[in-house]
Structure 1
Amino acid sequence: MYVTVVPLKRLPGSFQYFTYEWEEKLGASQPGLLVMVPWRSGKLLGLVWQTNVALTPDIAAEKIKKVTQVINPESFMNPARLRVAEEISALYKVSLSTACSLFLPPQKGTKLKKTTLRGVRPPRQMQICASNRPKLLWYDSSSIEVCTHHVARENIKRSRQTMIVFPYRTTVERWVAECPARIRKHVIWYDGALTPKTRFDAWIKIQQNPRAVVVGEHLSLFAPTDFLETIIVVNEHATAHKQWDMAPRYHNRDLALMLARATRAQLLLASPTPSIESLYAAQMRRYTLLKTATTHAAPQTPHTLIDLKNEFIKKNYTFISDYAWRQTLTALKENGSVLYLLNRRGWGRVVGCRDCGFIARCRVCEAAQVFHENVKELRCHHCRIKTSVPLKCPNCMGINLYIGGTGTEKISAELQKRLAEANLDVPVIQIDKDTLDVSPQKPLKPPYVMIGTNAALALLADTHLTLACVVNADRELARTEFRAQEELFLEWWNLGEQSNELIIQTTAPESPFLNRLSLRQFDEWVMDELAMRKRFTYPPFCDIVKLIIEAKNQVSARRISEELAHTLKRTYAGQERISVGDATPGMPPVIRGNFRYIIIVKLPPETRHKTAQQLIALVPDSCKVDFNPLSLFGD
């Protein structure tokens, strides 16, 4: 008998599995078994993919190598997860080895051999009907814990497993801490942040416990939940649910849909501010919309728009308006907590020369370098290259240099100066990617002032604030990505929900976007956003596949990308609903020495994964694939 085996080794996407001979002495074969197989001059751990395989005429039977050992008589992946792994491989252009490895515990040969597994339970045969369609829960801030605790408790009573996926580690910690004791004893944290040993032990516990409540971030979706009843994706609108920096570049919402469909589990997408895609799916009756009693009532938090032009007239160029500072002092005197939000790291965004117009740029990607005052150096936030600050212009040798723009370090220094002048001994905490390693791990006790980027929002998720201030809304509103306004609206709306007062500083208070936000017109904003996306054909009215071509040489990168774009355009010529864009340099065009070109392909949403898989099959292995990306041309 012959079987196909997926080598658990990093391989190109075109190498999926290999054929091996299965001898009777090895026992019964079944998909999902871990085995040892010959590989070149040594041996390699592999996963049985198919059994009773017929040899094709081009394969000589005498050249087929034999499976040498069965690691464990029980299957490590059930048929449902094998189907999901196959779909991940096809949709995100990764090898089956990469997709299957996500579902397996960290590989420890001796431990795997000695581990006793519960027999794999086949997925339930459930009739597809409206009652088990994905559900979109539109909740208020006080109801999500009640809902998740209720679902977990009911599943525990029925000896069924629950999977709860969170966007941030802090929200996982808070949820576990607030869990009732009878639920907490079944809670198992499974995530990529765990050490290999801890994750291995968690994997075994989940596989053997039919009442397990699995919690975590991205990797929790790959836990061995053979008795899975319910999948809950908390704050499904959060961009942190998207895996964007390494393959496979999936969104937790999309992967949860695949898993729920394969295992016949109930999927619950929960959010206080659902994403545009989810709201549209509910309108089209693909999701069942559920609302809590107080959902969608206008929040009581007053949203104040501050016109920075008036501050500039008063020669206040600090980006801390007089009104925001008065409210800050009032909040701190009442032992409150204050957040200043500015999504820009460093002290100044640019260092240049006033005489000749020189701008200090990264020698690799040519992006403007950011000045960091605390270490007195220039940094490229794309390539992570560090250089010293020039004392004179390297172009004209002049000394008339300047530091332009405002970052978190500059606002932090200004806040410390003002607090000292006001005789207030209050800590100023800076939270961004540069300070995450030294960020407070325990909940902060007010009074305090925090200045931070979006990293601060992750740290303060579900934390009540006395005052929140968006330092410079203009810079964020200037982003040209089609998802930018959705991200900002939902981010600032939720920030207003968790604070007594939200202040937004801008030079364009007449902006329709800001007025929708300040007047709390959520439904009206959704209608505006859907109209814009329909007009320009963006999700949910299409699916986008982002193809990323990288090469060390710019000429090679451009040639490969243009040839690929030409091939795809010729393939889909005459199909009006499939649009293939030109090869375009990424933003920035060079990252860590690699020149990047982007091709954007728009597909009709009705055929969704099928059309995308057909497209991706035409793409070379060297090309990176991002399905429905957060950014079209950015990193």
Structure 2
Amino acid sequence: MMLRFQRRIAAPLALLHSGLSDRERERAWHAARSGRARVVVGTRSALFTPLPRLGLILVDEEHDLSFKQQEGFRYSARDLAVIRAQRSGCPVLLGSATPSLESLNNALRGRYGHLRLPERAGGAHAPRLDLLDIRSARLDGGLSPVMLRLTGEQLQAGNQVLLFLNRRGYAPVLTCYDCGWVAECGRCDARMTLHLQSRLLWCHHCGSQRRLERRCPECGGGEVHPMGQGTERLAETLGQRFPDVSLVRIDRDATRRKGSLERLLGEIREGRHTLLLGTQMLAKGHHFPDVTLVGILDVDQGLFGADFRAAERMAQLITQVAGRAGRAEKPGRVVIQTRHPDHPLLHTLVRQGYDAFARMALTERRETQFPPFSHQALLRAEAHDERLPRQFLELAMALGRELAARDVEFWGPVPAPMERRAGRYRAHLLVQGAERARLQRLLARWVPRLPDLEGARRVRWSIDVDPQEML
């Protein structure tokens, strides 16, 4: 993005993100504060940069979950961008091919202006989307025979193929066939992911690692076996099926070294790699004009997630990945492997597009009174003792009910979906109100009194307004 701005805008620019050194960030901050830098390009924290003559705020991919700071100081950069623009008296543009349901609802209600771009850049045609039923298919490394055939045809024609699997590592499960042992994290209620290249078992939630053992640590019997696919295992399978094709893998493990991601993306654009495999790092914002086939290998978990936003996230991801196909003169095709080809949400998305899906999802949200038709705050508590978070939240709920208006509801307390994480037990209390003003009035009276509750100092607690994840 920085390169694109530099090519098109003559004014001085400043770049701000966490990957910079302290000196680089300080230099960019002072350039913005003094007015020397006329444009600031950055991640969510760049929103707090002082700009003496702020005239426009652009939020690209406004739906993206990364705009919400989840730890420490919690805030939504997208929502704060709207507030900062309002106070500065300047316009704010929220851009996305897959707008969040909150932003789309604001546009439909007339609170936001709604600017549509119905045509693709450069006159390219929208790709064809197809559902591929894999219920009875014998998969090879997560790939169906049809997907392998389509991939081979496009590679033979000299085109590029992108295969998307949003799961890094070699396999998400390591198990013993003799006794049923499964490699689990000792600090989280989660299974450890096998990373075969480094011969490590890795918890993707707390970061703990341990060396891979050849034999089962439970029964000492036969060898342990990986189950499921990650990008590392998929790359191995593709290398065996297409040995003469240049393959590149783009995920967090393959791009750890500074500059490696930029180098690999440049090689893709130059045509040095024809088979592209990656996670969501490869899904958004990239222009690969020779990609004619995009294969999406595993999206079914988004159809039945416990979070009410799971289907929205799934639809956004599918649409974003699909946007990598057919971006120039060559027509594109997107094939989605699924074991639920009759699911109505998938059918609406594939046949009618994201806009129809979003309107359908908004109707469901309205009927269930979930956001954006209500407003939420999540009180989280955690401790090393399993009982303490629940006890604290019970007292917090009793206090909240004394202070709340009638139309404010308290749900819980309940254990978090992943109750134990990094050695601490976690529980949630969800507060929901039909009107934001009443919920805010409750929070203004309730939160200052929480530190005085019995047991408050024995737990780590936090309040998250408009929570985007319930994990």
TM-score of the pair, normalised by structure 1: 0.66
Supply the distance in 2 between the matched residues of 1:577 and 1:208 (Cα, whole angstroms). 48
Supply the distance in 2 between the matched residues of 1:619 and 1:448 (Cα, whole angstroms). 57
Whether 1:330 and 2:153 are equivalent positions in the alignment is yes
Match of 1:117 in 2: none
Whether 1:260 and 2:90 are equivalent positions in the alignment is no
Supply the distance in 1 between the matched residues of 2:164 and 2:65 (Cα, whole angstroms). 17
Match of 1:399 in 2: 222
| Residue type at the aligned position of 1:441 | E
Supply the distance in 1 between the matched residues of 2:91 and 2:441 (Cα, whole angstroms). 23
Match of 2:262 in 1: 441
Match of 2:328 in 1: none
Native 8 Å contact 1:318 1:411 kept in 2: yes
CA deviation string 1:345-404 (max 9, x = no partner): 222222223343322211111411222211223221112222233444344443264322
Supply the distance in 1 between the matched residues of 2:15 and 2:435 (Cα, whole angstroms). 35
CA deviation string 1:521-569 (max 9, x = no partner): 3333122201221222221011221222122222323322332233223
Whether 1:176 and 2:5 are equivalent positions in the alignment is yes
Q: 1:556 aligns with which of 388, 392, 395?
A: 388
Report the alpha carbon displacement of residue 211 of structure 1 after superposing the two structures with TM.
7.2
Supply the distance in 1 between the matched residues of 2:59 and 2:103 (Cα, whole angstroms). 12
Match of 2:72 in 1: 247
Native 8 Å contact 1:557 1:596 kept in 2: yes
- RCO (CA 8 Å, sep 6+): is it higher in 1 or 2? 2
CA deviation string 1:225-248 (max 9, x = no partner): 12112111122122222222x222
Whether 1:581 and 2:411 are equivalent positions in the alignment is yes
Whether 1:283 and 2:108 are equivalent positions in the alignment is yes
Supply the distance in 2 between the matched residues of 1:278 and 1:521 (Cα, whole angstroms). 18
Q: 2:14 aligns with which of 168, 188, 194?
A: 188
State percent identity of aligned pairs.
Answer: 26
| Residue type at the aligned position of 1:599 | L
Match of 2:422 in 1: 592
Native 8 Å contact 1:311 1:317 kept in 2: no
> Measured at CA, do residues 413 and 359 of structure 1 come closer, stay the same or move farther in structure 2, by a change above 3 Å?
same
Supply the distance in 1 between the matched residues of 2:359 and 2:167 (Cα, whole angstroms). 30
Within 5 Å, which residues of 2 pair with 1:374-453? 374-399=197-222, 401-420=224-243, 424-426=244-246, 428-438=247-257, 439-442=260-263, 443=266, 444=268, 445-446=270-271, 447-453=273-279
TM-score of the pair, normalised by structure 2: 0.87
Supply the distance in 1 between the matched residues of 2:94 and 2:444 (Cα, whole angstroms). 25
| Residue type at the aligned position of 1:252 | A
3-state SS, counterpart of residue 436 of structure 1: coil
Supply the distance in 1 between the matched residues of 2:436 and 2:422 (Cα, whole angstroms). 38
Q: 1:547 aligns with which of 373, 376, 379?
A: 379
Supply the distance in 1 between the matched residues of 2:73 and 2:277 (Cα, whole angstroms). 33
Q: 2:98 aligns with which of 273, 297, 309?
A: 273
> Measured at CA, do residues 195 and 618 of structure 1 come closer, stay the same or move farther in structure 2, by a change above 3 Å?
same
Report the alpha carbon displacement of residue 618 of structure 1 after superposing the two structures with TM.
4.0
Query: How many correspondences in the alignment?
Result: 448
Native 8 Å contact 1:545 1:629 kept in 2: yes
Supply the distance in 1 between the matched residues of 2:323 and 2:395 (Cα, whole angstroms). 49
Structure 1 gap segments, 5+ residues each: 1-171
Supply the distance in 1 between the matched residues of 2:110 and 2:443 (Cα, whole angstroms). 23
> Measured at CA, do residues 360 and 494 of structure 1 come closer, stay the same or move farther in structure 2, by a change above 3 Å?
closer
Supply the distance in 1 between the matched residues of 2:293 and 2:382 (Cα, whole angstroms). 44
Match of 1:629 in 2: 467
Native 8 Å contact 2:45 2:77 kept in 1: no
Match of 1:77 in 2: none
Structure 2 gap segments, 5+ residues each: 326-331
Native 8 Å contact 1:603 1:612 kept in 2: no
Native 8 Å contact 1:299 1:497 kept in 2: no
CA RMSD across the alignment:
2.6
Supply the distance in 2 between the matched residues of 1:576 and 1:295 (Cα, whole angstroms). 49
3-state SS, counterpart of residue 430 of structure 1: strand
Report the alpha carbon displacement of residue 520 of structure 1 after superposing the two structures with TM.
3.0
> Measured at CA, do residues 570 and 357 of structure 1 come closer, stay the same or move farther in structure 2, by a change above 3 Å?
farther
CA deviation string 1:101-140 (max 9, x = no partner): xxxxxxxxxxxxxxxxxxxxxxxxxxxxxxxxxxxxxxxx
3-state SS, counterpart of residue 184 of structure 1: coil
> Measured at CA, do residues 609 and 466 of structure 1 come closer, stay the same or move farther in structure 2, by a change above 3 Å?
farther
Whether 1:509 and 2:328 are equivalent positions in the alignment is no
Native 8 Å contact 2:184 2:191 kept in 1: yes
Supply the distance in 2 between the matched residues of 1:366 and 1:237 (Cα, whole angstroms). 29
> Measured at CA, do residues 191 and 318 of structure 1 come closer, stay the same or move farther in structure 2, by a change above 3 Å?
closer
Native 8 Å contact 2:375 2:432 kept in 1: yes
Q: 2:431 aligns with which of 576, 592, 601?
A: 601
Supply the distance in 2 between the matched residues of 1:552 and 1:319 (Cα, whole angstroms). 39
Supply the distance in 2 between the matched residues of 1:449 and 1:415 (Cα, whole angstroms). 9
3-state SS, counterpart of residue 583 of structure 1: strand
3-state SS, counterpart of residue 215 of structure 1: strand
Report the alpha carbon displacement of residue 341 of structure 1 after superposing the two structures with TM.
1.2
Supply the distance in 2 between the matched residues of 1:319 and 1:377 (Cα, whole angstroms). 22
